[in-house]
């Protein structure tokens, strides 16, 4: 039996149990003449007993089937198809039967039910931890495997990246080279360009929006700017590859500079465009949080608005703004689709924004899309790169949080 | 403005002189600074406008296709020589040759082999199937000669829509002078028409741009998002309830808190690798399936939903809680009967925003193999499928000029869905917003 019908059947079984349970509770209460809890509580109680044993069984089963087992795939297939559903249904029926029998005036169901509910709630909130553990372990595992084949030092300091491993041992370049420095430099370059676009535009619009704009202007323009944040990155990628990249290339042709159509410039500019609302709304909140008394004091001393902004508000808001910028940087480093579509796959070690570079995320996609066996250095390299990405973005986020929390000026 | 003008006027009266050079300089700096801020906003808005203009101007024509009228003879000899009218026989007949005959009749003076081949490629590769479907729908056509409309190939379509210009040198364009001459001949006879492209919304992917549609990707997106919702919504709401209402303040809940905030900042591609390692390599779920995509996106959306749900639960005032508890409700009854229903609008808003992010997400889905070329419309959670943004990515990679139009068209549909979802969130917020 496959999963979905099994689940539906199980739920139907428990509904029947619920019905029986609540009915029996009414009968017992009438027969004994004693006050009891509400019938639906007894129904829920019975249904819970019908659901929990199969659930425990399923978890156990999943844990066992995940463990590596030797051969006999055919048998386990049969077991999966027949024995497992039978066990599930048997345990459910047993749970329902026993719990219905237990219904009596002395049974206190609410406490038990609430304990179960609380357990489920706790379990749900630990899923975030399991996700993190899952990320760290899946990355760590393959990364360690990768470093068995390629030395850490070569990965972190090597200047040559060509992960193509050949099919035969005697082919040219059969070993592949895994020096990731060109990728780091490429990522850095594109992130820098993105920040050159996003920081001035985002910050200046936040300043104008908070200090100069009328309420009506703010109310119309702010949501429009935030549209930029809601556009899927694949759309930016398409825009970067087809419109901006071509535009820069033609522009270069017109003034006699050689710009490739997959230049770091195009990818960086479009990425900066994506990040503008990120910086502007974060800085907006931060500038708004600077107390009015500071502004008034500055105006009272005769400063103009721009002097107030530059000499009072920005310094006061600086920790927050730095935090926002760090968050934006981590987002730019982790951004995938724009660079996959608009930057190249070739690992050039260059700082020239007019040439094509490649980034960490582009290489992860390049290494993992398509079919390949799972133990080659090529595939494992993607996990090592992802590990680097994970560590860098996470530390940037942590630093940003610390900066904001620790250096925030507290007025009031 | 008037205030400052007045004050400077009165001051100059008192001092009996013009503005000092320093003051003039400061005024100018002020103006410059303000202009700078406005410029930044204008540039950002202009970038947005350029983005939309470039997508719309490339994509609106995807909703139309070029059809050509041909007088086709449904010869009985070719379709059903035995005269049985059996469906299998009708299905298997060579409609390509019927189409070729019709074209030859339309242009009798084309004779050389290579010219004929070019002529026969004017209709789409799917045109023969269109003829077949006409016959299957209405077997009475057999033996008649009727004027039918068939889909033109992508190059002709691009030419008709003006994306391939006449004045480009012949060597530089995909469609040659002779084909243009044929096109003009058909056009003058009234045989070329631009019609609404319903196929774009009803069919799956195809190697032929004129046959490709987004329905497959839309269905795939639907199954994926449904999985995401079914998992992330209950789990997200439950963890928010626990953390807001029940959790004691200890190390363990602190860890959970920090974790959720950190997860919200993990790059999406890392979630893709998690999905690859966990759901494909360990749990052996099917590759390219909406269920895996949905699970991966659910883990990604979870922090967004938890954070929104917690804010919404926190906004319910304590008086409600105390009233419920005062009437003798247990803590769980208080939460599930009073706090949760009151915070539901806010939770729904957050969920919709999280799901709309998930709808636009591409990178993690590339990792779990949802980039495959899939023609069939997925029929369930385990069928190979693709989603709208991945379809956009796939088409953007295709070399044919006509796919640019399809890509932009698919983007327009995707943006349409996002606008609808965000509008829903705004409406929900407006309708149920309550100030305590």
At A155-206, the pLDDT tens digits run 888 888 887 654 555 555 556 788 888 999 999 999 999 999 999 999 999 9
Contact A129 B51 (CB under 8 A): no
Q: Which of the residue ranges A125-139, B32-46, B108-122 has the most confident prediction, judged by mean pLDDT?
A: B32-46
- Choose between A74 and B130: higher pLDDT: B130
Nearest to B356 by CA among B424, B291, B258, B405: B424
- Check residue B289 and report its DSSP letter: -
Mean pLDDT of the region A46-74: 74
Reading the block at residue A15, the tokens are 């509904």
B33 touches chain A (CB under 8 A): yes
Which residues of chain A from 270 to 289 reach within 8 Å of chain B, CB to CB? 273, 276, 280
User: Within 13 A of A299's CA, how many CA atoms are on the CB side?
Assistant: 8
Q: Tell me the count of A-B CB pairs closer than 8 A.
A: 250
Burial class (CB in 10 A: 0-12, 13-18, 19+), A218: middle
Task: List the end-to-end C-alpha distance of chain B, in Å, as a whole number.
Answer: 39
| B285 in Cβ contact with B279 (< 8 Å) | yes
Residues of A with CB below 8 A from B389's CB? 232, 234
Contact A138 B274 (CB under 8 A): yes
Q: What is the pLDDT confidence band of residue B5, given thresholds at 50, 70 and 90? A: very low
- Residue A78: pLDDT over 80: no
> Coil, helix or strand for A180?
coil
- Minimum distance, in Å, between the CA of residue A102 and any CA atom of chain B: 24
- Residue A409: pLDDT over 70: no
- Residue A1: pLDDT over 50: no
Which among A205, A241, A330 is the nearest to B40, CB-wise?
A: A205
Which residues of chain A from 186 to 225 reach within 8 Å of chain B, CB to CB? 200-205, 207-209, 211-212, 221, 224-225
Contact A138 B277 (CB under 8 A): yes
Contact A121 B241 (CB under 8 A): yes
Helix axes A181-207, A314-334, angle to 10 degrees: 140
B299 touches chain A (CB under 8 A): yes
- Three-point CA angle B64, B69, B70, nearest 5°: 145
pLDDT tens digits, B384-398: 889 999 999 999 988
- Residue B42: pLDDT over 70: yes
Q: What is the pLDDT confidence band of residue B58, given thresholds at 50, 70 and 90? A: confident
Task: Please list, in sequence order, all residues whose beta carbon lies within 8 angstroms of the beta carbon of residue A27, skipping any fewer than 6 positions away.
Answer: none
Taking CA–CA distances from A237, the nearest residue in chain B reads B393
B261 touches chain A (CB under 8 A): yes
State the DSSP H helix or E strand holding residue B194, giving kind and residue range, or none if neither.
strand B192-196
B274 touches chain A (CB under 8 A): yes
Which among A121, A242, A365 is the nearest to B242, CB-wise?
A: A121
Rounded percentage of chain B residues whose pLDDT exceeds 70: 96
Which residues of chain A from 136 to 165 reach within 8 Å of chain B, CB to CB? 138-139, 141-142
Q: How high does pLDDT run on average in chain A?
A: 85
Which among A212, A341, A390 is the nearest to B37, CB-wise?
A: A212
Residues of B with CB below 8 A from A384's CB? none
CA-to-CA distance for B241 and B290, rounded, in angstroms? 28
- Check residue B380 and report its DSSP letter: S
Rounded percentage of chain B residues whose pLDDT exceeds 90: 39
Report pLDDT for B168: 78
Burial class (CB in 10 A: 0-12, 13-18, 19+), B345: middle
- Residue A110: pLDDT over 80: yes
Mean pLDDT of the region B273-283: 87
| B307 in Cβ contact with B295 (< 8 Å) | no
User: Within 13 A of A297's CA, how many CA atoms are on the CB side?
Assistant: 8
B260 touches chain A (CB under 8 A): yes
State the DSSP H helix or E strand holding residue A128, giving kind and residue range, or none if neither.
helix A109-149
Question: Which residue is associated with the tokens 């676009």?
Answer: A197
CA-to-CA distance for A40 and A42, rounded, in angstroms? 5
Report pLDDT for A374: 65
Which among B40, B267, B276 is the nearest to A393, CB-wise?
A: B267
Contact A125 B256 (CB under 8 A): yes
Q: Which of the residue ranges A167-176, A221-230, A269-278, B72-81 has the most confident prediction, judged by mean pLDDT?
A: A269-278
- Residue B318: pLDDT over 90: yes
Report pLDDT for A77: 63
| B218 in Cβ contact with B388 (< 8 Å) | yes
Which among A227, A309, A331 is the nearest to B48, CB-wise?
A: A227
Mean pLDDT of the region A200-222: 93
Mean pLDDT of the region A72-93: 73
In the sheet that holds B192-196, the strands lie side by side as B145-151, B64-73, B192-196
- State the maximum Cα–Cα separation within chain A, in Å, rounded to a whole number: 98
CA-to-CA distance for B50 and B39, rounded, in angstroms? 16
Contact A134 B274 (CB under 8 A): yes
Residues of A with CB below 8 A from B247's CB? 125
CA-to-CA distance for A190 and A192, rounded, in angstroms? 5
| B29 in Cβ contact with A306 (< 8 Å) | yes
How does strand B64-73 pair with strand A177-178? Answer: unpaired
- Residue A16: pLDDT over 80: yes
Residues of A with CB below 8 A from B269's CB? 334, 336, 361, 364-365, 386, 389
Contact B266 A241 (CB under 8 A): no
B279 touches chain A (CB under 8 A): no
Task: Please list, in sequence order, all residues whose beta carbon lies within 8 angstroms of the beta carbon of residue A136, skipping any fewer than 6 positions away.
Answer: A390
Burial class (CB in 10 A: 0-12, 13-18, 19+), A368: buried
| B268 in Cβ contact with B365 (< 8 Å) | no
Q: How far is CA A366 from CA A190, A271, A358, B269, in A?
A: 18, 20, 10, 12
- Choose between A373 and B213: higher pLDDT: B213
A300 touches chain B (CB under 8 A): no
Ranges of H-type helices in A67-108: 73-78, 84-102
Report pLDDT for B6: 47
| B191 in Cβ contact with B68 (< 8 Å) | yes
Length of chain B: 436
- Check residue B280 and report its DSSP letter: I
CA-to-CA distance for B244 and B310, rounded, in angstroms? 6
Report pLDDT for A175: 61
Which among B30, B259, B282 is the nearest to A305, CB-wise?
A: B30
- Residue A105: pLDDT over 60: yes
- Minimum distance, in Å, between the CA of residue A170 and any CA atom of chain B: 31
- Choose between A409 and B273: higher pLDDT: B273
Task: Please list, in sequence order, all residues whose beta carbon lies within 8 angstroms of the beta carbon of residue B383, skipping any fewer than 6 positions away.
Answer: B289, B290, B376
A372 touches chain B (CB under 8 A): no
| A333 in Cβ contact with A275 (< 8 Å) | no
- Minimum distance, in Å, between the CA of residue B38 and any CA atom of chain A: 6
Rounded to 5 degrees, φ, ψ at A150 are -125, 130
CA-to-CA distance for B136 and B142, rounded, in angstroms? 10
What pTM value is reported for the model?
0.87
Contact A134 B356 (CB under 8 A): no
- Minimum distance, in Å, between the CA of residue B74 and any CA atom of chain A: 44
Rounded to 5 degrees, φ, ψ at B249 are -90, 95
CA-to-CA distance for A388 and A369, rounded, in angstroms? 19
CA-to-CA distance for A12 and A328, rounded, in angstroms? 49
Q: Measured in whole angstroms, how far is the alpha carbon of residue A198 from the centre of its chain?
A: 22
- Residue B67: pLDDT over 90: no
Nearest to A18 by CA among A42, A36, A54: A42
Contact A241 B407 (CB under 8 A): no
- Residue A125: pLDDT over 80: yes
- Residue B13: pLDDT over 50: no
Contact A337 B393 (CB under 8 A): yes
Which residues of chain A from 1 to 60 reach within 8 Å of chain B, CB to CB? none
A395 touches chain B (CB under 8 A): no
pLDDT tens digits, A348-380: 888 888 888 899 999 999 888 866 666 777 888
Radius of gyration of chain A (CA): 31
Contact A128 B263 (CB under 8 A): yes
- Check residue A370 and report its DSSP letter: S
User: Within 13 A of B434's CA, how many CA atoms are on the CB side?
Assistant: 13
Q: How far is CA A111 from CA A17, A42, A393, B33, in A?
A: 19, 12, 45, 65
CA-to-CA distance for A134 and A237, rounded, in angstroms? 29
CA-to-CA distance for B177 and B166, rounded, in angstroms? 9
Q: DSSP E strands: which ranges in A254-331?
A: none
CA-to-CA distance for A126 and B252, rounded, in angstroms? 10
CA-to-CA distance for B32 and A323, rounded, in angstroms? 27
DSSP-assigned states of every residue in B96-161: HHHHHHHHHHHSTT--SHHHHHHHHTSB-TTHHHHHHHHHHH-GGGTT-EEEEEEEBPHHHHHHHT
- Residue A381: pLDDT over 80: yes
Nearest to A140 by CA among A367, A360, A383: A383
| A232 in Cβ contact with A274 (< 8 Å) | no
Nearest to A108 by CA among A27, A36, A43: A36
CB count within 10 Å of CB A124 equals 21
């Amino acid at each position: 039996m496959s999963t979905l019908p099994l689940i539906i059947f199980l739920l139907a079984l428990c509904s029947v149990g619920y019905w029986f349970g609540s009915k029996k509770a009414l009968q017992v209460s009438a027969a004994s003449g004693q006050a009891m809890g509400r019938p639906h509580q007894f129904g829920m109680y019975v249904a819970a007993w019908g659901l929990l044993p199969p659930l425990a069984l399923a978890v156990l089963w999943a844990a066992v089937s995940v463990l590596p087992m030797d051969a006999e795939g055919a048998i386990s297939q049969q077991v999966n198809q027949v024995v497992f559903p039978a066990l599930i249904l048997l345990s459910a029926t047993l749970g329902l039967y026993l719990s219905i029998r237990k219904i009596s005036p002395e049974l206190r169901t609410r406490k038990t039910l609430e304990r179960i509910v609380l357990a489920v709630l706790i379990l749900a909130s630990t899923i975030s931890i399991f996700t993190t553990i899952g990320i760290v372990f899946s990355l760590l595992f393959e990364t360690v495997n990768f470093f068995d084949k390629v030395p850490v030092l070569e990965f972190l300091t090597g200047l040559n990246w060509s992960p193509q491993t050949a099919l035969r041992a005697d082919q040219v370049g059969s070993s592949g080279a895994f020096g990731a420095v060109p990728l780091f430099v490429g990522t850095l370059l594109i992130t820098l360009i993105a920040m050159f676009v996003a920081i001035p535009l985002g910050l200046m619009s936040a300043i104008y929006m908070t200090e100069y704009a009328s309420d009506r202007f703010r109310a119309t323009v702010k949501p429009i700017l935030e549209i930029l944040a809601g556009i899927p990155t694949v759309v930016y990628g398409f825009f970067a590859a087809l419109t901006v990249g071509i535009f820069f290339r033609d522009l270069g042709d017109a003034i006699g500079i050689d710009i490739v159509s997959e230049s770091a410039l195009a990818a960086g500019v479009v990425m900066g465009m994506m990040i503008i609302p990120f910086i502007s709304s974060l800085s907006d909140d931060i500038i708004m949080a600077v107390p009015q008394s500071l502004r008034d004091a500055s105006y009272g001393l005769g400063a103009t608005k721009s002097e107030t902004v530059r000499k009072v508000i920005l310094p006061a808001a600086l920790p927050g703004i730095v935090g926002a910028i760090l968050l934006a940087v981590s987002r730019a480093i982790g951004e995938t689709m724009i660079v996959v579509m608009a930057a190249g796959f070739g690992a050039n070690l260059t700082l020239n924004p007019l040439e094509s570079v490649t980034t960490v995320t582009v290489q992860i996609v390049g290494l993992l899309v398509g079919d390949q066996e799972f133990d080659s250095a090529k595939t494992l390299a993607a996990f090592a790169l992802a590990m680097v990405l994970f560590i860098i973005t996470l530390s940037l986020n942590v630093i940003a949080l610390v900066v904001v929390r620790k250096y925030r000026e507290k007025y009031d | 403005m008037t205030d400052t003008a007045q004050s400077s006027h009165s001051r100059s009266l008192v001092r009996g002189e013009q503005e000092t050079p320093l003051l003039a300089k400061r005024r100018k700096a002020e103006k410059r600074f303000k202009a700078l801020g406005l410029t930044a906003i204008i540039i950002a808005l202009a970038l947005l406008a350029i983005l939309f203009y470039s997508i719309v101007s490339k994509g609106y024509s995807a909703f139309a296709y070029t059809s050509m009228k041909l007088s086709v003879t449904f010869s009985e000899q070719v379709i059903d020589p035995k005269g049985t009218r059996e469906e299998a026989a009708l299905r298997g007949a060579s409609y390509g040759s019927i189409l070729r005959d019709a074209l030859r009749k339309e242009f009798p003076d084309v004779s050389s082999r290579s010219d004929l081949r070019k002529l026969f490629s004017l209709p789409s590769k799917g045109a023969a199937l269109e003829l077949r479907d006409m016959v299957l729908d209405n077997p009475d056509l057999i033996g008649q000669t009727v004027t039918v409309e068939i889909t033109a190939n992508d190059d002709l379509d691009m030419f008709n829509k003006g994306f391939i210009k006449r004045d480009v040198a012949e060597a530089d364009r995909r469609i040659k002078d002779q084909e243009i001459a044929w096109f003009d001949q058909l056009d003058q006879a009234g045989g070329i028409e631009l019609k609404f492209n319903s196929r774009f919304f009803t069919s799956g992917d195809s190697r032929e741009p004129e046959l490709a549609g987004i329905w497959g990707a839309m269905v795939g997106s639907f199954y994926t998002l449904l999985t995401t919702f079914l998992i992330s919504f209950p789990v997200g709401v439950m963890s928010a309830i626990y953390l807001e209402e029940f959790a004691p303040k200890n190390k363990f809940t602190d860890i959970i808190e920090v974790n959720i905030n950190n997860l919200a900042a993990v790059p999406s591609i890392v979630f893709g690798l998690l999905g690859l390692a966990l759901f494909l390599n360990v749990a052996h779920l099917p590759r390219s399936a909406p269920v895996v995509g949905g699970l991966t996106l659910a883990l990604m959306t979870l922090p967004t939903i938890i954070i929104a749900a917690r804010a919404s639960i926190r906004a319910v005032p304590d008086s409600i809680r105390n009233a419920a508890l005062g009437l003798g409700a247990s803590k769980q009854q208080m939460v599930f009967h009073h706090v949760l229903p009151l915070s539901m609008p806010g939770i729904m808003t957050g969920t919709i925003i999280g799901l709309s992010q998930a709808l636009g997400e591409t990178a993690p889905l590339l990792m779990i193999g949802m980039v495959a070329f899939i023609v069939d419309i997925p029929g369930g959670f385990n069928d190979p499928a693709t989603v709208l943004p991945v379809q956009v990515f796939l088409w953007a990679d295709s070399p044919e000029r006509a796919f640019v139009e399809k890509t932009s068209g698919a983007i327009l549909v995707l943006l349409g869905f996002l606008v609808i979802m965000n509008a829903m969130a705004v409406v929900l917020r407006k309708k149920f917003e309550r100030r305590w």
